Amino acid sequence: MSISALQNARYTYKPKLPDCLSGSIEDITVESGAPTESISDFEQLRSIFKTTYGKPLITFVKGKGSNIKHELKVGVILSGGQAPGGHNVIAGLFDGLKKANPNSVLYGFNGGPSGLINNKTVILTQEIIDEYRNTGGFDMIGSGRTKIETAEQFASSLQTAKKLGLNAVVIIGGDDSNTNAALLAEYFLANGSTTQVIGCPKTIDGDLKNDYIETSFGFDTACKTYSELIGNLCRDANSSKKYWHFIKLMGRAASHIALECAFQTQPNICLISEEVEAKRMSLEKIVDQICASIVKRSENGDDFGIVLIPEGLVEFIPEIKKLIDELNDVIAEEEKSFATITNLIDQMYWLSSRIPESSYRVMQTLPPDIAKQFLMDRDPHGNVQVSRIETEKLLVGMVEKRLAAMKEKQLYSGKFTYQTHFFGYEGRCAFPTNFDADYCYSLGFSAFVLIASGLTGYISSVRNLIAPASEWLAGGVPLTMMMNLEHRHGSTKPVIKKALVDLNGNPYKTFVKNRETWAEKTCFLFPGAIQYYGPAEVCDQPTITLKLEYEK
Ligand code: FBP
């Protein structure tokens, strides 16, 4: 197979490990803290996770005394959307296993969690691993969004673990997949199985984070990929001075990606869904905000600009959030009946007797193409697929109408010409940045140490990420510590709490300090392409979000 020069070069890149994990295997010592509690709903969660609730935090330190050299059989799953660095998590896990005991075996489950349910595996050899080191994508074993939820699926997963004689399963996924990991860990133990379950924090969305998980992997690379493209559009807009670019950015719920890209490129507008929700901003109010910038810039002679729109925005606009929640519930309750209707007129008729009138009216105000997108299939976790809702087109249409009305009243005399874009899939399989390559490899290696130490129901954790990699801290966080109960799609469930943009946090506050200037002036930054080779200040920097969150 022919490969690109960069891929060839990246094969030889040696990911950096924190000091506590490098050196001899015998030197890694495992320290446990005090018992932990969930975020809330303590009693209910304690009764759901009878055997795995409340375990201590785990930290790895350099020392002597651990015996983690036994022969192990481990299975690994890539779950959910692709995120740059997934292959390196597997490489770190593989290298840890083999370094401790060359007879250990790593199975890859093909196609995500369904590979565990249906026992579809491949034995990962040195040759396979070497072919994927430091590359993007999840194609080594593939991914999937199957949720392990029925009694049969749990039983089949246990069956597979028994058949393969697995000591552990590692689930590399986002909040939903790690919730699944917690449930599986509990199920295995409760059913007398010794197979351990360990999670790893993956998602470009950056919303799987807390005090012990500073960021999910893939966020760094995805944001830098989108920022390169946005920066290029900024420069194009500033050169031709004729287009407003409306850019939707991935991130199913949280606006972390949009916010990071705003720091990297300084656009005229960046909408933050969490703020929209907190201020209960309607669609009309959002259009007001965008038009204010367009009018002001036009008065300055600048009929061009950049608007960043987080993918999940629609779910945070109060009237639309209510509508989506109601749609999710009725579609989940009467899935089969709804699936038989395909055209919008019949779907609207079906809905008319099932959702409240106020929401039905909101649905009627949406352009037909967008209304149809609200009714598309949910993902296996019951979420509306916001990546398929063209929010950028919805907004641009409303802005155009508003500006035309303002022109009639002589409140605006500029020229509004626009382009719409959606950057999402472009960033999910990029070659991981040096940061993601190192972070992922460390997460995988740390998962190995958790397994070799006999732990279950933990997520691999690597912290202190704004410091050089050698100073990173590694260990494990009990999955139940990150959980609470939430109402999701018609029932109350234990879930890992999603980390949305914190409106009291330093990143958001820094953005607010700057945004008025950006809205009026042209302050664009052009970050350029990700650099893999060269000085550390160009190649090894973490995201601006991480620095703003952790720099003292
Ligand atoms: P994960 O939460 O599984 O990491 O996926 C994130 C994401 O990239 C979202 O940003 C996006 O909305 C969604 O996946 C798209 O999913 P799909 O790949 O199924 O179209």
DSSP 31-92: EE------SS-HHHHHHHSTTTTTPPPEEEEE-S-----S--EEEEEEESS--TTHHHHHHH
pLDDT of residue 381: 66
Rg (CA), the chain: 24
Among the listed residues 95, 175, 176, 205, the single catalytic one is 205
Residue 118 has pLDDT above 90, yes or no: yes
d(CA 348, CA 372): 10
Please report how the helices 434-452 and 86-100 are oriented relative to each other, as an axis angle in degrees rounded to 10.
Answer: 40
Q: Which atom of ligand 1 is nearest to the CA of 311?
A: 12
CB of 203 closer than 6 A to ligand 1?
yes
d(CA 29, CA 64): 6
Distance (angstroms) between ligand 1 centre and the Cα of 110 equals 19
Nearest CA to ligand 1 atom 8: 81
Q: pLDDT class for 383, splitting at 50, 70, 90?
A: confident
Residue 441 has pLDDT above 70, yes or no: yes
Q: Which atom of ligand 1 is nearest to the CA of 203?
A: 4
Rounded to the nearest integer, the mean pLDDT of the chain is 95
Q: pLDDT class for 1, splitting at 50, 70, 90?
A: low
Query: What is the mean pLDDT of the segment spanning 123-138?
Result: 97
Query: What is the mean pLDDT of the segment spanning 196-220?
Result: 97
Q: Answer whether 285's CB lies under 8 Å from 232's CB.
A: no
d(CA 24, CA 369): 59
Query: What is the mean pLDDT of the segment spanning 98-122?
Result: 97
pLDDT of residue 331: 87
CB of 274 closer than 6 A to ligand 1?
no
CB of 204 closer than 6 A to ligand 1?
yes
pLDDT tens sequence across 58-82 = 999 998 767 778 899 999 999 999 9
Distance (angstroms) between ligand 1 centre and the Cα of 120 equals 23
d(CA 367, CA 538): 44
Distance (angstroms) between ligand 1 centre and the Cα of 81 equals 4
Nearest CA to ligand 1 atom 11: 252
Residue 13 has pLDDT above 90, yes or no: yes
CB of 222 closer than 6 A to ligand 1?
no
Q: Answer whether 341's CB lies under 8 Å from 347's CB.
A: yes
Q: Answer whether 75's CB lies under 8 Å from 107's CB.
A: yes
Distance (angstroms) between ligand 1 centre and the Cα of 242 equals 33
Mutational test site, ligand 1, from 171, 252, 386, 426, max ligand atoms within 8 Å of CB: 252
User: Across the strands, what pairs with 60?
Assistant: 30
Nearest CA to ligand 1 atom 16: 81
CB of 174 closer than 6 A to ligand 1?
yes
Q: Which amino acid is at 245?
A: H
pLDDT tens sequence across 361-378 = 999 988 888 889 898 888
Using alpha carbons, select from 509, 527, 529, 511 the residue that is nearest to residue 519.
511
HSE-CB of 328 using CA atoms within 13 angstroms? 21
d(CA 349, CA 361): 12
Q: What is the DSSP letter of 497?
A: P
Query: What is the mean pLDDT of the segment spanning 153-158?
Result: 97
Distance (angstroms) between ligand 1 centre and the Cα of 246 equals 21
d(CA 28, CA 309): 45
| 163 Cα distance to chain centroid | 32
- Give percent above pLDDT 90 in the chain: 86
Residue 102 has pLDDT above 90, yes or no: yes
Q: Which atom of ligand 1 is nearest to the CA of 83?
A: 4
For 187, list phi and psi in degrees, rounded to 5. Answer: -60, -45
Instruction: Name the percent of the chain in helix, strand, coil, to the closest 5.
Output: 45, 15, 40
CB of 175 closer than 6 A to ligand 1?
no
Q: Answer whether 419's CB lies under 8 Å from 229's CB.
A: no
pLDDT tens sequence across 302-334 = 999 999 999 999 999 999 999 998 998 888 888
- Give percent above pLDDT 70 in the chain: 99
pLDDT tens sequence across 244-283 = 999 999 999 999 999 999 999 999 999 999 999 999 999 9
Cβ neighbour number for residue 228 with a 10 Å cutoff: 21
d(CA 437, CA 441): 6
Residue 111 has pLDDT above 90, yes or no: yes
Catalytic: 205? Answer: yes
| Residue in the structure block whose two tokens are 């692709």 | 82
Q: Is 397 helix (H, G, I), strand (E, B) or coil?
A: helix
CB of 68 closer than 6 A to ligand 1?
no
